[in-house]
Amino acid sequence: MEQIPADRDSLRERHSLAVERIRQIGTEETVKGACRDYFRTVAGFLLLTEELWDIVEKGQLDAYSLEQHQELNRRLYEDILPENYGHSYGNPAYAVEKLGEVHGKILSFLYTEERGLIVYAFEQRLEEMVVHLELFIEIYNCFEQKESPEYREIQQIIYWFVSDYSDLFAARRVREVLDPSLDFAVRIVMDSDLSDLRYLYRYGEYVSENELTMARFMNSLTEEEIGAMADTYTEGFRLGFIADGKDLSIKETVNIRYHLGFERMIRRAVQNFRKMGLSPVIYRSAVSTVNKKQHTRLGYVGAVPNKQFDYDHKADQAIYLDKRFAERRLGVMRTAYEEYKKLANRHAGPAVVEVFGETPFVPETKKEAYRLSEKQQKLSVEMDNETAQITNQYIIGKERSFTIIAFPVPEIGPDFEAVFRDTIRINTLDYQLYQRIQQTIIDVLDTGTAAHIKGCGVNRTDLTVAFAALEDGTRQSLFENCVADVNIPVGEVFTSPRLKGTNGVLHVSQVYLGELHYKDLALTFCDGMVTDYGCSNFGTEEENRAYVRENVLFHHDTLPLGEFAIGTNTTAYAMAGRYGIADRLPILIAEKMGPHFAVGDTCFCWQEDVPVYNPDHKEIIARDNEISALRREDPAKAYFGCHTDITIPYEELGLLEIIRENGERIPIIRNGRFVLPGTEELNEPLS
């Protein structure tokens, strides 16, 4: 359990005073105009979280019926649900409409940040609770003193709040990643009666019918089925260490990430990991603005109440992001990692259970939402790069590994159970069969100097990908034979391309990346670097380019082609077609269903100097490119902190051929079918 701070009594006194002050806001008339309703509404929410604090502290949640838990969960999240979002102060468009241009956006941010009190109340984190209540009161006082305070006055209060308390929020996040004594979620997984679905509400996450149905389904599975799922997942993690020649015995912790409803599988996985000598570290996705990264959620998660809400607030750092804050946050990270360096050195890496099948999300870009300035975009990139370097310094990249597996959720539709069982089958395909066929492909790839990829039909792809030089084909290879250890399911061969000579256009008619939909996504490469980009989601070229720059390039001016791969899992592709779920598959599976191309870092980032071998004992030498090689001079120039896979589906693929030095061309795939001798079995699921 977490240690109680020595000044707990002082915090309790501040807590009591803050709550008493907030209770008064509901009846006061000191704030004029539309802002009065805002402060009363938010104060009402804060008092609801205070009610929650008392319920949790007194242990009363244990006596709640399922219906009572559901009612409390609804009250906590109802304001930002899609059906209510049009009239929520969490919606920056509504906030600006009601509160005006000066105050609308920043007060919408304030309400969003205060919603973190749900988590702090459930976890009984008193200090975080207190400082957020005091922040709200300080800003309320500004509106009491002036009918319309200057924007900068409010902005400065928030700026110093996030700066001064970085040592609370950012340092806590580092500890959450490393310290198994922070066991809030572990205790839920391991100690709950998982047949009693009330356990889902103990996290404090939003719980929808999706999580309830998932938990019921997991309870319907046999111990053997649960064991097979968990064993595939944990064995993948263990085999990743073996395949890379890394020593798992010196590690003590593993980070487990999952979606609510999978606790039966996770409990078995925890037991498996403990037999390997690994204690579980399970942390939730970030709730503080200091720790969030755009709209993505990293950690364990429940249902997302409203993806548009998350998207609207993904750039809220624009309020306070400057060089001074960046240096402050990075300094806190360094100090925290130094404090927990022993735990960091013994951390083995993440084991991730992804889900798929949720309704695809097409965001609305709102002019009222915050956007990072060009200067802030560059600063954000620099801060992310430095964060990655600090993390890698303490959680040493060449000594850690990972695994990732995916399963469908009930939201996928009436075929859920059939899709789930087919997914288990895909996750446990005969890796020896794929290893053999993929080696046949690699043997030909290793004779080439480049690959040429051409789309068909609506697909405009025409791209040449250059390969690294192979010095000794008897001992070396360019492509990794991926056979489902860390990266489940089986089904790809991949390399780090040579940038010079990689030229052309990559295009897909539609794709989902990071839960966002893209229509006609196109990237142009010149010597391996993105030189142009766009899509057709919006009405203007400016909007389309901004969307791609923000969510694919992550504010970088350009990115390299970090990976070229050929997906071979035609069984997964056939399943997607059979159930009509191609647009709902995660990239983990989708990348195995055709050639794919990653923009950003290579697959070997931070581990380029660690030898990697294929099952045939040949060393994979294409672990670098011209950009990642700069790490020896300046790591900030070598890494980008992103790696986004883009897959061309088989039906949009006209030709994938290998070009040899003498000009000879050897086709691997033509018109969506494998044509290389020795790969014919891959076509069987397609027919």
- The tens digit of pLDDT for each residue in 19-52 reads 999 999 989 999 988 899 999 999 999 999 999 9
Question: What pLDDT was estimated at residue 2?
Answer: 40
* Number of domains the chain is built from: 3
Average pLDDT over residues 322-338: 96
| Joined tokens for residue 520 | 């006609």
Q: Which of 354, 385, 403 is the last residue of a domain?
A: 403
Residue 165 lies in a domain: no
Strand partners of residue 534? 522
State whether 204 and 155 are in the same domain: no
Full domain range(s) for residue 104: 8-160
- The tens digit of pLDDT for each residue in 145-204 reads 888 899 999 999 999 999 999 999 999 999 999 999 999 999 999 999 999 999 999 999
Q: Map residue 98 onto helix, strand or coil.
A: helix
State whether 319 and 210 are in the same domain: yes
Residue 421 lies in a domain: no
State whether 475 and 331 are in the same domain: no
Q: Confidence class of residue 1 from pLDDT cuts 50, 70 and 90?
A: very low
Question: What pLDDT was estimated at residue 293?
Answer: 84
State whether 609 and 468 are in the same domain: yes
Question: Is the distance from CB of 314 to CB of 294 less than 8 angstroms?
Answer: yes
Residue 103 lies in a domain: yes
State whether 154 and 287 are in the same domain: no
Question: What pLDDT was estimated at residue 527?
Answer: 97
State whether 181 and 151 are in the same domain: no
Examine the pLDDT at 3 and tell me if it is beyond 50.
no
Question: What pLDDT was estimated at residue 484?
Answer: 62
Q: Which of 160, 191, 223 is the last residue of a domain?
A: 160
State whether 222 and 343 are in the same domain: yes
State whether 146 and 14 are in the same domain: yes
State whether 312 and 206 are in the same domain: yes
pTM: 0.89
Q: What share of the chain is helix, strand, coil (3-state, %, to 5)?
A: 50, 20, 35
d(CA 170, CA 472) in angstroms, rounded, equals 48
- In 3D, which of 213, 240, 225, 517 has the Cα closest to residue 355? 213
d(CA 98, CA 109) in angstroms, rounded, equals 14
What's the chain's average pLDDT? 94
Residue 2 lies in a domain: no
Residue 419 lies in a domain: no
Examine the pLDDT at 279 and tell me if it is beyond 50.
yes
Residue 588 lies in a domain: yes
DSSP sequence for 280-300: EE--BPP-STTT-BTTB--SB
Pairing mode, strands 673-674 and 619-620? unpaired
Residue 391 lies in a domain: yes
Other Cβ atoms less than 10 A from the Cβ of 65: the count is: 9
DSSP sequence for 431-493: HHHHHHHHHHHHHHHTT-SEEEEEE-TT---EEEEEPPPPS-TTTEESSEEE-SSSBSS--EE
State whether 665 and 622 are in the same domain: yes
Query: Out of 278-287, 593-602, 629-638, which region has the weakest mean confidence (pLDDT)?
Result: 629-638
State whether 384 and 465 are in the same domain: no
* Percentage of residues in the chain having pLDDT higher than 90: 82
Residue 413 lies in a domain: no
- The tens digit of pLDDT for each residue in 614-641 reads 989 999 999 999 999 998 888 888 888 8
Other Cβ atoms less than 10 A from the Cβ of 255: the count is: 24
Question: Is the distance from CB of 642 to CB of 605 less than 8 angstroms?
Answer: no
Spatial strand order in the sheet of 643-647: 480-482, 492-495, 561-567, 595-600, 643-647
Examine the pLDDT at 82 and tell me if it is beyond 50.
yes
Q: Confidence class of residue 299 from pLDDT cuts 50, 70 and 90?
A: very high
State whether 355 and 445 are in the same domain: no
- The tens digit of pLDDT for each residue in 427-455 reads 988 888 999 999 999 999 999 999 999 99
